[in-house]
A and B are shown apart, each in its own frame.
Chain A
Amino acid sequence: MPEIHRREFLKLVGASAGAAATVGCSDPVSKLIPYVIQPEVIVPGIANYYASTCQECSAACGLLVKTREGRPIKLEGNPEHPINQGALCARGQASIGRSYHPDRYKTPMKRVGDKLEPTTWDDAIAILSGEIKRAGNRTWMLGGQTGPTASAWIDKWVEAVGAGGRVVYEPFAPEALREATQALFGVASEPVFDLSGSDLIIDFGSDFLESGPSPTEHARQFAEARDIAKRERGGARFVYIGPRLSMTASNADEWVAAKPGSEGLLALALLKVAIGAGGGTQAGRDGVAAPLAKIDIAAVAKQADVPLATIERIGKALGAAKSPVLLPPGVALASRRAAATARAVMLANWALGAVGKGVSIPAPRDGKLPSYHQTLALVDAMKQGSVGVLLVHGSNPVYSLPPSTGFSEALAKVPFVVSLASMPDESSERANLVLPDHTPLESWGDAEPRPGIRSLVQPTLRPIYDTRALVDTLLDVARAMGADVAAKVPTDSFRALVEQAWAGTDFHAALAKGGVFAAQPGVEVTLVGSAVDFEMAEPALEGDGDFTLLTSPGALLYDGRGANLAWLQETPDPVTKITWVSFAEISPRAAEKLGGLVFGDVVEVETKAGKLSLPVVVRGGVRDDVIAIAIGQGHTVGLWSSGTDSGHPGEARGVNVIDVLPALTDESGGRAWLLTKAKVTNTGRHEKLPICQDSQNQRGRRLGLAVPLAELAAGDAHVEAEHGAADAVPGAGESAPGYPAHGEAAHGEAHGSHEMIKAFDASMDRAPDSPYRWGMTIDSDKCTGCSACVVACYIENNISIVGEEQVRRGRHMAWLRIERWVGDGNLEGGQDRLPIFPDAESSSTVDIRIAPMLCQQCGAAPCEAVCPVIATYHADDGLNGMIYNRCIGTRYCANNCPYKVRKYNWFDFALERWPDPMYLMANPDVTVRGQGVMEKCTFCVQRVASARQIAKNENRVIRDGEVTTACAQSCPTHAIQFGNLVDKTSAVAKAGSEPVRGYHSLEELNTRPAVTLLAKVQRGTVEG
């Protein structure tokens, strides 16, 4: 029971007043027991931060693990880490949940009959070593990518135990890209893209802001490249080429909805125009003359279904660009000709002189790399029964390999399957023996995302259960197999191994810092002779049907590894705002063709490989001939990943689109995803989906504003005019923090109410003697909608997960949500109960406004006035306080909040949705809310409070930047600024005083918000 667990925390924290304030009087009072022997590093109530490395994807961002009394309670980015520089994406934030996941294997398990039963390590090791002895070289290892140290050692181990070999398998591996680089420059490594210096970014569907090679890093660079304050003429332009308006594409200036598969041709066509317009280096022009000669732009325009004019225009712009960067397709558009496509794009990069500037080719990495064709080869071997023992680690092939590979059957042919997963998944459930691995927070390890950037993983949590690190397990096996075997892999433990590997460095300094960061520059490359002679043709698609099946990586679930993290399931999809379920995106025209489908109608999607049925989302952001389904759902095992959470154990949650993909590769043998056509038929069924934004049409209400670049230049005059208007208002004495930019005509409505707006100074809304008025500035021109802040908020504030059914009933608890608006909107929609996706989304000029919405901490808060019991009030430092214990649940405040940021505990969510041992990760500084109380954002008041304590001890005021909220801390683009509005020199005050872009959400209501939004900048389509 969380109540009790929270009290345990309080014991440790030694809270007295705090406890009294946060605990209802009815609760029993229990003793506070101090440490008998005070651990040196642990001061009760004070957090310790340890540097480590995120293991969620290959980007390997640096972590600061915030621990309290020996327990990690939150993951934050490591500011000193060169990759993420302090930010951390949603997936990284949520990954803390792995350690406290209720599903975890608590001991080794062995199969007895048809189910797994607990056993001891000795027993398990004995069994395994025996099996390996018997199987000898018929022993194989199949697993995800591990850190360099572990990887190298495991190869040694495979040799030592005389196993057949090891295959590294990652569902999303940039094999085609590596192949292309090899072919072009003779260097087999995936290129590194740096967008920060670029002035024109053309993305051929890599979705670099969500599922690319290094999303957090790229988001930061993207924001730098487009920083209105620093870059002249609005900074970099961004063109997105791809069939679906993804989260990344929503940040583009222009969307070219090209036919999927035509990217390579488009790249060459654009290059041809660019060079024709005098772009590119001399070497480049000469180098690519031959292949470009074969390119007929008009024909490409036809094939790609893109207006010729568009290609001409963008091509010219490309030619004129000083430092363009072209990003090759990612997973979604990895066709059967992925290698050629990547080659075409990289060739363009090289010809335009991007290679060496925005694009660098690192030295090839040593050690085993993921390989899909090796994986398929292993599957064949398994089918032929030539695999005796299969060790599976760090991956879930049963889920992520297409059934058409026959992996499942092949696995049945393997006499002894060992899983080293730490949590049950489709693969581990098939194992004969499960040797649970530590979670990354419990384990040692290292990573080397780039040559020279070496990042350490250190344990920050004593293993909660009887688990062992992969390497230690294998080590024990080796020992059990005999001294001679053990001698071939000489080390005492994984920790010792890591220390050996880092021998050259000051290990403790590295631990403190998070690693050794000496990035090596990319290697000098020149075009190899044979580089340019390749055929760039459109890829063939399997099967028939009117639709091309587009399978994009889940923006939050990635390849499905995020599915068992409740936070990622409950955080709305950045584009459609749907949670927990699978859905297919089709265009309104397509929906019309299929008999007038609407949001939630269930369709059947059939390919050669199989069929599945799922509800549709009808939105303009998809090509008419494409049906887009995200990868990641459809698990049948796991508390939150499967139907278990909704009371259907063993049933799939949503659908796994991989099930209907053929097992085909690209030319390089890498895994291809854009493979097949699909027949789509209407089943006539309808489902209500758990969606969190009922309308992306803001009806011209001042929620998400945008300002054309031109108007920004002519800003000051414009502001003067506005001030005139403001002063005309009676009582508009104080200095106005800036007035909203005019969007287009559509919100003439809002303009009508302009004279109702009173100018005000938010910093005045505090107690006269208070040195603080906390405020926030959110720059919607920088916000990409990645949702890192949302997850950060969930974990910082112990926000309850409510689950699919409750979200469906509109009871999502997030304190911070990211609203996505399509343009200024119009007055259409709302007659029925269906969510609204404006058709305007299909426009090639992207006008998506992303406005994070959280409690505005109003100076004249409508919620406060109506609470009968003063459960919410205006604190001295200007915060809109919320006293949970005083709340009796009339819910009047929530009715009266125009922003609708107050969330109500309809059930005892804290009790029902925090199964053991999840309570261990609860933030002891934040009350866990009980049934029947209202809750909301208070600018992480607990963080403010601790900062104030420190300042008080040194009797000074809190310095700017000394305290920040969880959301601001996690933001890769620094779109969110938090600070003290009284201090006019503070970052937040400066940012908030942006003359033209600054505005307040719904300000005609005169609620005097402390949150200032900065309007999105409309850079318009790219011009040559």
Chain B
Amino acid sequence: MTPPPGESIAAMIRQTPVPPDSQTNRDVMNIFMTTPGLGWLLLVGICLGGLGGGAAVWIYQIYKGLGIAGYSHPIFWGAYIVTFVFWVGIAHAGTLISAILFLFRARWRNAINRSAEAMTIFAVFTAQLFLGIHVGRIWKAYFILPYPNQRALWVNFKSPLLWDTFAISTYTLTSLIFFYVGLLPDLAIARDRTTGWRKALYGSLALGWQGTSRQWKSHNRTVLHLSGLATPLVLSVHSVVSWDFAMAIVPGWHATIFAPYFVAGAIFSGFAMVLTVMIPVRRIFSLEHILTNYHFENMCRFLLLTSTIVTYAYFIEYFIAWYSGVEAEKTAFYLRLFGPYWLSTWIMIVCNGVIPQLFWFKKLRTHIPTVFVISTLINVGMWFERYVIIITGLSREFNPAVWGHYTPTWYELMIVAGSFSFFSILFLIFLKLFPVIPISEVKELVIHERAHASGQPAGAH
């Protein structure tokens, strides 16, 4: 352009008008920018109740001793470890969706990975609570860290529990990093569209992100590498958790299939949990056009796959028990089906093995209410899977003189309920604070589509 005579070029600087904001931004922002409704507050209230109850019981338990739980000799692990494993399992969907599906370039993941990652983190937090709740002397629990001390006492790196400690904390940190890195651009979006405390919050978290190509470049690379790291991590974490059992000689625990078996189970329960949570979310915030049935159907396919793997593992366990010829193993597995805990076992088999097979039918895969019910049942089934493995194993061990029995006490159940409240509260807050859908990733798709569909005006779709 040529400047009008007698004027400096500086005079040409003028504000360019800001065009209307993008549809995607508005859709997503609406979810967490709008002030919480009565329903939300009600939910939070209920959860706070549950959380309070659980916390109170925990304090009482620390004061009085683990005896208030249903433990006995020989059943030294109970509902706490069961629920711990359950939550660690839940924690697997997020990173899996973000990392593995990212590597496989499964585009459909974009719509769900944010919420899945959030779930991962909250689930890990919840799981870690149980490590504290489970130990008998939490005031000495720091002994488990290899900190330098003048007594030159170190820890036992041969113990699966220590592997656990490292695996879980690594998983927590890595997932947090992954979550934050993914969130960064969206925080910038939020920063640009908010005022007041929210602007301050998002602004400081966004670290001055402007989406320059340099930033995007390193961002892409980071996400790629994190995915590369997280993928083996995801597989390792639940393997390690499974070794807590597989490394012990307890009949019903001591099996080489445990690592893959638990990983499959974890993904299974994780995806189920994502569905159980996201179906209502999508409904409430009417995100049908972003979170389409296509996404849900894909996840159902995943559930079908993992369910089959898990069922296969159940079968193999019995086969090996018989094939090993070890009477203790045979007995343990026989009594798993027909012993005092038969009900739990059958719940597990039906919920995890039989019901998911319904997903062979496209009709059911795509019928959202059905999907919701089934995914919920799977969550129940997976809790019982851990219950069955841990309790039946311990109750029928090598020495029949010390066969024992276990029933969770109300105290334990309150703590378990408390953990669900804890998880829910975290997720509810997340819904109201951060974009539940990864905006920039969705936008990427939108822009691509638009670019391909030629001749359309900008910003319209």
Judge: A and B partners, yes or no. Answer: yes
Residues of A at the B interface (CB closer than 8 Å) are 26, 693-701, 703, 749-750, 752-753, 806, 809-812, 817, 819, 825, 827, 830-833, 836, 853, 862, 865-870, 886-892, 894-896, 898-900, 903-908, 931-933, 1002, 1005
Counting chain B residues whose Cβ lies within 8 A of the other chain, the interface size class is 35 or more
Residues on B with beta carbons closer than 8 Å to the beta carbon of A695: 400-401, 403
Q: Is the CB of A896 within 8 A of B248?
A: yes
Q: Is the CB of B327 within 8 A of A699?
A: yes
Also in contact, A868 and B399, with CB within 8 A (given A827-B331, A890-B134, A933-B136): no
Q: Mark B403-424, 1 if CB is under 8 A from A, else 0.
A: 1110000000000000000000
6 CB < 8 A contacts A-B:
A809-B72, A810-B75, A833-B405, A868-B159, A868-B165, A896-B250
Residues on B with beta carbons closer than 8 Å to the beta carbon of A890: 134-136, 161
> B67 at interface (Cβ–Cβ under 8 A)?
yes
Q: Is the CB of B327 within 8 A of A694?
A: no
Residues on B with beta carbons closer than 8 Å to the beta carbon of A830: 331, 335, 339, 396, 400, 403
With A and B bound together, what is the CA distance between A171 and B327 in angstroms?
49
Query: A715 to chain B: closest CB distance in Å?
Result: 27
Q: Is the CB of B402 within 8 A of A900?
A: yes
Q: Is the CB of B73 within 8 A of A833?
A: no
Closest-by-CB residue of A relative to B159 is: A868
Residues on A with beta carbons closer than 8 Å to the beta carbon of B232: none
* Contact for A866 among B136, B140, B248, CB less than 8 A: B248
Q: Is the CB of B399 within 8 A of A889?
A: no
Residues on A with beta carbons closer than 8 Å to the beta carbon of B404: 694, 810
Query: B79 to chain A: closest CB distance in Å?
Result: 14
**Most chain B beta-carbon neighbours within 10 Å: one of A699, A817, A866:** A866
Q: Which of B302-337 contact A (CB under 8 A)?
A: 325-328, 331, 335
Query: B337 to chain A: closest CB distance in Å?
Result: 10
Q: Is the CB of A833 within 8 A of B401?
A: no
Q: Which of B265-283 contact A (CB under 8 A)?
A: none
Also in contact, A888 and B144, with CB within 8 A (given A810-B72, A900-B399): yes
Q: Which of B18-46 contact A (CB under 8 A)?
A: none
Residues on A with beta carbons closer than 8 Å to the beta carbon of B77: 891, 895
Residues on B with beta carbons closer than 8 Å to the beta carbon of A903: 73
Residues on B with beta carbons closer than 8 Å to the beta carbon of A697: 400
Q: Is the CB of A865 within 8 A of B158?
A: yes
With A and B bound together, what is the CA distance between A888 and B136 in angstroms?
6
Closest-by-CB residue of A relative to B151 is: A886
Chain A at the B interface: SS class: loop
Q: Is the CB of A891 within 8 A of B160?
A: no
Query: A839 to chain B: closest CB distance in Å?
Result: 16
Residues on A with beta carbons closer than 8 Å to the beta carbon of B101: none
With A and B bound together, what is the CA distance between A693 and B136 in angstroms?
25
With A and B bound together, what is the CA distance between A853 and B73 in angstroms?
15
With A and B bound together, what is the CA distance between A482 and B103 in angstroms?
108
Closest-by-CB residue of B relative to A802 is: B67
Q: Is the CB of A811 within 8 A of B67?
A: yes
Query: B357 to chain A: closest CB distance in Å?
Result: 29
Residues on B with beta carbons closer than 8 Å to the beta carbon of A700: 327
Also in contact, A898 and B249, with CB within 8 A (given A831-B339, A867-B156, A888-B140): yes
With A and B bound together, what is the CA distance between A470 and B283 in angstroms?
87
> B394 at interface (Cβ–Cβ under 8 A)?
yes
With A and B bound together, what is the CA distance between A701 and B67 in angstroms?
31
Residues on A with beta carbons closer than 8 Å to the beta carbon of B129: none
> B346 at interface (Cβ–Cβ under 8 A)?
no
Query: A102 to chain B: closest CB distance in Å?
Result: 22
* Contact for A888 among B72, B137, B154, B325, CB less than 8 A: B137
Q: Is the CB of A931 within 8 A of B400?
A: no
Q: Is the CB of A894 within 8 A of B73?
A: yes
Q: Is the CB of A869 within 8 A of B250?
A: no
Closest-by-CB residue of A relative to B78 is: A891
Closest-by-CB residue of A relative to B139 is: A26
Q: Is the CB of B405 within 8 A of A810?
A: yes
> B294 at interface (Cβ–Cβ under 8 A)?
no
> B373 at interface (Cβ–Cβ under 8 A)?
no
Residues on B with beta carbons closer than 8 Å to the beta carbon of A694: 400-404
Q: Is the CB of B161 within 8 A of A887?
A: no
Residues on B with beta carbons closer than 8 Å to the beta carbon of A753: 325-326
With A and B bound together, what is the CA distance between A836 and B397 in angstroms?
15
> B162 at interface (Cβ–Cβ under 8 A)?
yes
Q: Is the CB of B250 within 8 A of A906?
A: no
> B66 at interface (Cβ–Cβ under 8 A)?
yes
Query: A1007 to chain B: closest CB distance in Å?
Result: 9
Q: Mark B375-406, 1 if CB is under 8 A from A, else 0.
A: 00000000000000000001011111111110
> B59 at interface (Cβ–Cβ under 8 A)?
no
Query: B163 to chain A: closest CB distance in Å?
Result: 9
With A and B bound together, what is the CA distance between A752 and B138 in angstroms?
44
With A and B bound together, what is the CA distance between A825 and B331 in angstroms?
14
Q: A900-B73, A900-B402, A905-B65 are in contact. List 6 more A-B contacts (CB 8 A).
A: A753-B325, A889-B66, A891-B76, A894-B73, A904-B73, A907-B64
Residues on B with beta carbons closer than 8 Å to the beta carbon of A862: 248-249
Residues on B with beta carbons closer than 8 Å to the beta carbon of A894: 73-74, 76
Q: Is the CB of B249 within 8 A of A1005?
A: yes
Also in contact, A904 and B398, with CB within 8 A (given A694-B404, A870-B155): no
Closest 6 CB pairs of A and B: A889-B136, A810-B72, A932-B136, A906-B67, A749-B327, A891-B76
With A and B bound together, what is the CA distance between A825 and B244 in angstroms?
32
With A and B bound together, what is the CA distance between A966 and B71 in angstroms?
30
Query: B78 to chain A: closest CB distance in Å?
Result: 10
> B143 at interface (Cβ–Cβ under 8 A)?
yes
With A and B bound together, what is the CA distance between A80 and B136 in angstroms?
47
Also in contact, A701 and B161, with CB within 8 A (given A811-B67, A907-B64): no
Residues on A with beta carbons closer than 8 Å to the beta carbon of B134: 890
* Contact for B162 among A806, A812, A868, A907, CB less than 8 A: A868
With A and B bound together, what is the CA distance between A900 and B328 in angstroms?
15
> B229 at interface (Cβ–Cβ under 8 A)?
no
**Most chain B beta-carbon neighbours within 10 Å: one of A811, A830, A868, A907:** A868
With A and B bound together, what is the CA distance between A853 and B400 in angstroms?
12
Q: Is the CB of A888 within 8 A of B65?
A: no
Residues on B with beta carbons closer than 8 Å to the beta carbon of A886: 143, 153
Closest-by-CB residue of A relative to B161 is: A868
Closest-by-CB residue of B relative to A894 is: B76
Also in contact, A811 and B327, with CB within 8 A (given A865-B159, A866-B160, A892-B159): no
Residues on A with beta carbons closer than 8 Å to the beta carbon of B402: 693-694, 900
With A and B bound together, what is the CA distance between A77 and B214 in angstroms?
87
> B369 at interface (Cβ–Cβ under 8 A)?
no
Q: Is the CB of B328 within 8 A of A888?
A: no
Q: Is the CB of B327 within 8 A of A750?
A: yes
With A and B bound together, what is the CA distance between A694 and B406 in angstroms?
13
Q: Mark B143-172, 1 if CB is under 8 A from A, else 0.
A: 110000000011110111110010000000
Residues on B with beta carbons closer than 8 Å to the beta carbon of A887: 136-137, 140
Q: Is the CB of B338 within 8 A of A831?
A: yes
> B340 at interface (Cβ–Cβ under 8 A)?
yes
Also in contact, A900 and B397, with CB within 8 A (given A701-B327, A868-B165, A908-B65): yes
With A and B bound together, what is the CA distance between A865 and B403 in angstroms?
23
Residues on B with beta carbons closer than 8 Å to the beta carbon of A1005: 249, 398
With A and B bound together, what is the CA distance between A526 and B124 in angstroms?
89
With A and B bound together, what is the CA distance between A806 and B69 in angstroms?
12
Query: B367 to chain A: closest CB distance in Å?
Result: 40
With A and B bound together, what is the CA distance between A503 and B134 in angstroms?
67
With A and B bound together, what is the CA distance between A752 and B153 in angstroms?
43
Q: Is the CB of B405 within 8 A of A869?
A: no
> B355 at interface (Cβ–Cβ under 8 A)?
no
Closest-by-CB residue of B relative to A911 is: B65
Query: A889 to chain B: closest CB distance in Å?
Result: 2
> B445 at interface (Cβ–Cβ under 8 A)?
no
Q: Is the CB of B136 within 8 A of A868?
A: no
With A and B bound together, what is the CA distance between A443 and B244 in angstroms?
57
Residues on B with beta carbons closer than 8 Å to the beta carbon of A931: 65, 136-137
> B141 at interface (Cβ–Cβ under 8 A)?
yes
Q: Is the CB of B401 within 8 A of A703?
A: yes
> B247 at interface (Cβ–Cβ under 8 A)?
yes
